[in-house]
Amino acid sequence: MSQHSALLAHPFERVCDPIEKIVHEMGYETARTPENMVVTIPLGQVVFSLHTQGTQVGFSSPTGPQLQMLKDLYARRFNVLGLDAGIRWQTPADGRAPLNQSRCTVQSLTRISPNFARLRLTGNFSAFAQPESGLHFRLLMGPEGAGLPSLDDNGLTHWPGGQEAWHRPVYTVRAIGPDADWMDVDIVLHEGGRVTDWCARVAPGDRIALTGPSGSKMPTAQNLILLGDETALPVIMRICDGMPKGTRVDAVLALRSHADLQSPADPTHITIDTCAMDDDQALLQALASRLAQSPDAQVFFAAEKSVAALARDLIKASSMPASQARAAAYWTREESHDRSVESES
């Protein structure tokens, strides 16, 4: 449950009478006493209470994004009714974070294999732990000394230095703690990477922010074919570790070093082959042969943008229905500002 509150500088009746009228016109009920009024709508609940300085308003919703919508709706309503002069919104202790943003602490960064570092973050990751949550998020890396993105007075995200100045690469939640109070992120280390450079200077205790969860969810098919280069290793291993018992996985990973390969927690029904990262054709051939041999499987492919485009051509040319196969671009070779190309914001 996500919650927020505001204090209106107007007496209880002056606030509740017009609000109650609107709520009833919209077809919803209110529960009112001389000191409280509770409004329940699909986005959540709004509780108005008598306060020495005016009227206290409490908002609660099942999720953060719903809470943001509920607050925005009532902010507009207060404005239209002339109730917003002197309004004081509650500021979260941690600063005013947009509701799709998590602020967390770096616990450790460990080199786990020749080309991978594992970042362990601590914080509240309960939104990432739901079965229906997306598997990905964006790291938020701003200009030196910029601070973290915050909510502006209109409730929109304020990017210090401008949004363009922020590097917001997409990463995968590799693992999440049973109490959702930590998560691991496996980072490919590569020449010229801004996150690779950041890994060289980050220290335990550093505070960072990320947005999410977003993007693809845990697949549900019984028969999975998963192919990808090293940037897709984290999501492929997450799926291998998190899929329902009995699911069959046939995976192929294109790696710079065989020593980067990870082992699934339970290898039953899982096979993982590898090929060379610098041989795009090897991964594409692995896809072509599987498309021909396993027409009933669910296929996921992720690699560099041009390779993913060729994979899409192969899928189109195969007899596999489009709904069963997906090829995603996970990074681009050419110079550009935001190289995390899939729209996972």
Ligand X SMILES: Cc1cc2nc3c(=O)[nH]c(=O)nc-3n(C[C@H](O)[C@H](O)[C@H](O)COP(=O)(O)OP(=O)(O)OC[C@H]3O[C@@H](n4cnc5c(N)ncnc54)[C@H](O)[C@@H]3O)c2cc1C
Query: 3-state DSSP call for residue 33?
Result: coil
Say which DSSP state 141 is in: B
Q: Which stretch binds ligand X (CB under 6 A): 59-67, 165-173, 203-211, 257-265?
A: 165-173
Among positions 98, 215, 219, 264, the unique one binding ligand X when judged by CB under 6 A: 215
Distances, alpha carbon 18 to alpha carbons 22, 78, 80, 87, in Å: 6, 10, 11, 17
Q: Which is nearer to ligand X, 57 or 284 (CB)?
A: 284
Q: Which is nearer to ligand X, 250 or 344 (CB)?
A: 344
Q: Is 228 in the site for ligand X (CB under 6 A)?
A: no
Among positions 123, 169, 213, 219, the unique one binding ligand X when judged by CB under 6 A: 169
Contact 194, 260 (CB under 8 A): no
Q: Which stretch binds ligand X (CB under 6 A): 5-13, 85-93, 163-171, 282-290?
A: 163-171
Query: 3-state DSSP call for residue 333?
Result: coil
Contact 124, 92 (CB under 8 A): no
Q: Is 332 in the site for ligand X (CB under 6 A)?
A: yes
Among positions 155, 161, 193, 242, the unique one binding ligand X when judged by CB under 6 A: 193
Distances, alpha carbon 8 to alpha carbons 88, 90, 170, in Å: 7, 11, 39
**What whole-number distance in Å separates Cα of residue 12 and Cα of residue 222?**
57
Q: Which is nearer to ligand X, 19 or 308 (CB)?
A: 308
Among positions 6, 188, 297, 307, the unique one binding ligand X when judged by CB under 6 A: 188
**What whole-number distance in Å separates Cα of residue 67 and Cα of residue 109?**
33
CA 231 to chain centre: 17
Q: Is 170 in the site for ligand X (CB under 6 A)?
A: yes
Q: Which stretch binds ligand X (CB under 6 A): 3-11, 123-131, 311-319, 326-334?
A: 326-334
Q: Which stretch binds ligand X (CB under 6 A): 20-28, 87-95, 106-114, 164-172?
A: 164-172
Q: Which is nearer to ligand X, 72 or 342 (CB)?
A: 342
Q: Is 278 in the site for ligand X (CB under 6 A)?
A: no
**What whole-number distance in Å separates Cα of residue 137 and Cα of residue 339?**
14
Q: Is 195 in the site for ligand X (CB under 6 A)?
A: yes
Burial class (CB in 10 A: 0-12, 13-18, 19+), 18: middle
